[in-house]
Chain A
């Protein structure tokens, strides 16, 4: 069976969940092969995890330049590998970096590209949700191999242990790929919460939360449920919570098992980022708030009373 290349995404030295989803998906199309693009040593740290999810081969493309410049060297190394191994398909995460590498790869290989894919059939037919999740599209790459980016939380990864063979890939990066140099990476404290787009539970606060201080109530409920914290644009614009946690049209798209909207009215721009969530719960004092039109369970009331009570009740049940 032909190989399906899965480009590995890592965060803090661990394999991101979207990579495990892609390895699961890749089994439908062929033999999964993981591709690690990074600094020397990047592959060794993750081989076991990749093998656990079915990677028969781990291509280790390692070079300092892959880590020192913005995506262009990674795209160049990946294009070289694709030319060498002629895979059946190439999958990347639908993340900022995944999309950027994919865009360059499409140009380099003169190959079609589909982004934000939520499903992929054995024949390469992809499913996408567009226009704020209101329209479902079935599409195909019609020139070249299926080159797709997969949206995090599209499926549940399942293990399928394999004996991963590590194959070192020679990397030669020329000057044209080294134009955008990363001079500094600044880590910001983010605590133990799961990453927003990968979390199975997301608790978001809106303007109704009222202040940055009050976001502690949102965080408390998220922590009790093992979830990530999100915020509406109104809350971010009001300075209640940092922009990287914004859910909606100009922020992140999330699709968790459970989405809890606290003090969020549910403007279409917000719905664009969350309405494919499995179960939606809303608390809002306005009974006419549009968020209730999509909530499986809604509480009309003051979130400052409802949320602490809910937190207390969860603790009591433990």
Chain B
């Protein structure tokens, strides 16, 4: 099975993150940039499917030059190769433009299965798999906590996921080709081995520009975005309030506070 995993480089959610003051885009220059955490679960799932059913795993990233670090990190977990879409004109692209570019790039690989994280820690928008499915005319199975692959012998497969809902869970099925997004409940990603890290340095990474994909620069980036940030401001940090040490009456004091705020 031919599998592509979408990997996004994001600013570390454990550190301070900012928008740029000049164009309101995510400040990636001064941030510590890492692989979007949820994508590691997608990589792990791809590797497990490859181990069971064979085939090839390709990492696909759209992002600036420095996203190459995250591609190497992803490859060190075990995928075979990578495609990096990099073009200065992509700066400031919205989800719609991103899905257009990724759909075109996926067309160059022609995968049976596209795996991705359910959301990125920077945008948290969750729309990419459905946007891709809509553009590519394929199925989207989203928010998987479990994925089962039944191959049909002809290169394709039936995919079945479980996805959590507010009432319980749904079982949803589709045939390949399809895009599947995963939550962090699906598996436990492996750590790259020393051998994996060394091997990753030699794995092929194809770079593609907008021209390679036949997409006009005017359709992407800040200029081509369908929405715009008008302004942004830091929310004033919350101030800690009263702190009491429990001296046998902590529970009572807590309730007194709740009563003063009319919650009790």
Nearest to A184 among chain B residues (CB) is: B171
Interfacial chain A residues near B232, Cβ < 8 Å: 135-138
Nearest to A129 among chain B residues (CB) is: B235
Give CA–CA (A116, B166) in the complex, Å: 18
* Residues A297 and B242 in contact, CB atoms below 8 Å apart: yes
- One digit per residue, 1 when the CB lies within 8 angstroms of any chain A CB and 0 when it does not, for chain B 222-254 equals 000111111111110110111111100111111
Stretch of B53-61, B107-115, B135-143, B206-214 on the interface side: B135-143
Interfacial chain B residues near A106, Cβ < 8 Å: 95-96, 127, 131, 226
- B114-149 contacts to A (CB < 8 Å): 121-122, 124-128, 130-131, 133-135, 137-143, 145
Q: Quick check: is B80 within 8 A (CB to CB) of the other chain?
A: no
Stretch of B68-76, B177-185, B191-199 on the interface side: B177-185
Given A113-B226, A138-B231, A268-B14; A298-B238 close (CB under 8 Å): no
Q: Quick check: is A84 within 8 A (CB to CB) of the other chain?
A: no
Stretch of A28-36, A40-48, A141-149 on the interface side: A141-149
* Interchain nearest-CB distance for B146 vs A (Å): 12
Q: Quick check: is A180 within 8 A (CB to CB) of the other chain?
A: yes
Given A113-B127, A298-B242; A12-B250 close (CB under 8 Å): no
Give CA–CA (A113, B125) in the complex, Å: 10
Q: Which listed residue (B127, B170, B173) contacts A102, Cβ 8 A?
A: B127
Give CA–CA (A195, B166) in the complex, Å: 8
Stretch of A51-59, A163-171, A206-214, A301-309 on the interface side: A301-309
The SS class assigned to the B binding surface is mixed
Interfacial chain B residues near A280, Cβ < 8 Å: 238
Give CA–CA (A313, B263) in the complex, Å: 13
Give CA–CA (A300, B102) in the complex, Å: 50
* Residues A107 and B167 in contact, CB atoms below 8 Å apart: no
Q: Which among B167, B170, B171, B258 has the greatest number of chain A C-beta atoms within 10 A?
A: B258
Q: Quick check: is A241 within 8 A (CB to CB) of the other chain?
A: no
* Residues B139 and A179 in contact, CB atoms below 8 Å apart: yes
* Residues A113 and B142 in contact, CB atoms below 8 Å apart: no
* Interchain nearest-CB distance for A128 vs B (Å): 9
Q: Quick check: is A140 within 8 A (CB to CB) of the other chain?
A: yes
Q: Quick check: is A125 within 8 A (CB to CB) of the other chain?
A: yes
* Residues A258 and B134 in contact, CB atoms below 8 Å apart: no
Give CA–CA (A279, B263) in the complex, Å: 10
Interfacial chain B residues near A296, Cβ < 8 Å: 241-242, 257
Q: Which among A129, A294, A308 has the greatest number of chain B C-beta atoms within 10 A?
A: A294
Give CA–CA (A143, B225) in the complex, Å: 8
Given A298-B242, A299-B250; A138-B259 close (CB under 8 Å): no
Q: Quick check: is B37 within 8 A (CB to CB) of the other chain?
A: yes
Give CA–CA (A182, B168) in the complex, Å: 14
With an 8 Å Cβ cutoff, the count of chain B residues facing the other chain is 84
- One digit per residue, 1 when the CB lies within 8 angstroms of any chain B CB and 0 when it does not, for chain A 276-315 equals 0001110100010000111111111110011111111110
Give CA–CA (A75, B251) in the complex, Å: 50
Give CA–CA (A272, B16) in the complex, Å: 12
Give CA–CA (A116, B245) in the complex, Å: 38
* Interchain nearest-CB distance for A107 vs B (Å): 4
Interfacial chain B residues near A306, Cβ < 8 Å: 246, 250-251, 254
* Residues A298 and B261 in contact, CB atoms below 8 Å apart: no
Interfacial chain B residues near A310, Cβ < 8 Å: 250-252, 254-255
Give CA–CA (A225, B257) in the complex, Å: 14
* Residues A294 and B133 in contact, CB atoms below 8 Å apart: no
Q: Which listed residue (A116, A180, A185, A186) contacts B174, Cβ 8 A?
A: A180
* Residues A108 and B134 in contact, CB atoms below 8 Å apart: yes
Nearest to A275 among chain B residues (CB) is: B238
Q: Quick check: is B172 within 8 A (CB to CB) of the other chain?
A: yes
Q: Quick check: is A50 within 8 A (CB to CB) of the other chain?
A: no
Give CA–CA (A296, B264) in the complex, Å: 16
Q: Which listed residue (A188, A283, A294) contacts B167, Cβ 8 A?
A: A188
* Interchain nearest-CB distance for A227 vs B (Å): 9
Interfacial chain B residues near A103, Cβ < 8 Å: 95, 125-128, 130-131, 134
* Residues B18 and A135 in contact, CB atoms below 8 Å apart: yes
Enumerate chain A interface residues (CB-CB to B < 8 A). 11-12, 70-72, 75, 96, 99-100, 102-104, 106-108, 110-116, 125, 129-144, 176, 179-188, 190, 195, 201, 225, 243-244, 249-250, 253, 257-258, 267-269, 272, 275, 279-281, 283, 287, 292-302, 305-314, 317
Enumerate chain B interface residues (CB-CB to A < 8 A). 13-19, 24, 37-38, 94-96, 99, 121-122, 124-128, 130-131, 133-135, 137-143, 145, 160, 164-175, 178, 183-185, 225-235, 237-238, 240-246, 249-255, 257-259, 261, 263-264
20 contacts between A and B (CB under 8 A): A11-B167, A103-B130, A107-B96, A110-B96, A111-B226, A112-B94, A113-B96, A132-B17, A134-B16, A139-B229, A179-B133, A185-B169, A250-B38, A258-B261, A280-B238, A287-B245, A297-B241, A299-B244, A309-B252, A310-B251
